[in-house]
Amino acid sequence: MDIRAGGISRDETRTNLVKVAAQLLHEQGAAAVTTRAVAQAAGVQAPTIYRLFGDKDELLDAVAEHVFAVYVADKALTRDSGDPVADLRAGWDTHLGFGLANAALFGLLTDPGRSTRSPAAAAGLEVLRARVHRVAAIGRLRVAERRAVELIHAAGTGAVLTLLAMAPQDRELDLADAMYDAVMQTILTDAPALAEDGTTAAAVAFRTVVPKLPMLTDAERALLSEWLDRATHL
């Protein structure tokens, strides 16, 4: 179905509007993303936006989803270095860089009303969970995987928002480094065999392989997982 002259389809028009709005958001901020400005930049009439998105908020949702989905896809394709702890730090640095480079978009992504229904945000968390899982598998976590993911996610979001609240010339990036170090001290052991809480680290590591134990029934795997969850204070 064509919605404008020249044979441009509905999906193509929608995609173009999202890209135009994303550029306005990045260059001028959320206030610049008006239906009139987007329509003019995209070469369509304003009613087209209402037909495709309903209102400005839905357009902004689509923009946030598009840009963040591209970012998450790139993160997911990043090859592991072979050092899960180093990969965790690299992910933190990438997250920080993305947030600071996309201030207006990051504000949309951290809006609880939007993030809870965002497939891209959910995919981003899955990337983080996978990285934390690899750290757990080598015996370096002193807390449960879920707890580690929650702490890293909360710290990363808070660090970016705090820095964005500062004037660019006043931002102290070592604040984010200090936040990361504090979280790592909470969730990581020094080494699998030497840590004071090696028992917990071993339980967390063993928990990562339970779903892959073919000699156990589903009920036995569930019971073993429950015991290990208790050991890691879930």
Per-residue CA distances from 159 to 96, 97, 172 (Å)? 8, 11, 11
pLDDT of 191 > 70? The answer is no
pLDDT greater at residue 226 or residue 14: 14
Residue 113: the pLDDT is 66
Q: Domain extents for the chain? A: 79-231
Q: pLDDT digit string (tens) for 100-109?
A: 988 888 887 7
- Label residue 222 by pLDDT band (50, 70, 90): confident
Residue 201: the pLDDT is 65
pLDDT of 199 > 70? The answer is no
Residue 210: the pLDDT is 60
pTM more than 0.85: no
Residue 196: the pLDDT is 47
Paired tokens of 223: 């019971």
Residue 167: the pLDDT is 92
Mean pLDDT of the chain, nearest integer: 82
Highest averaged pLDDT of the listed ranges 61-75, 167-181, 192-206: 167-181
Percent of the chain with pLDDT over 70: 79
User: How do strand 8-9 and strand 2-4 relate by DSSP bridges?
Assistant: antiparallel
Cα 68 to Cα 74: distance, rounded to the nearest angstrom: 10
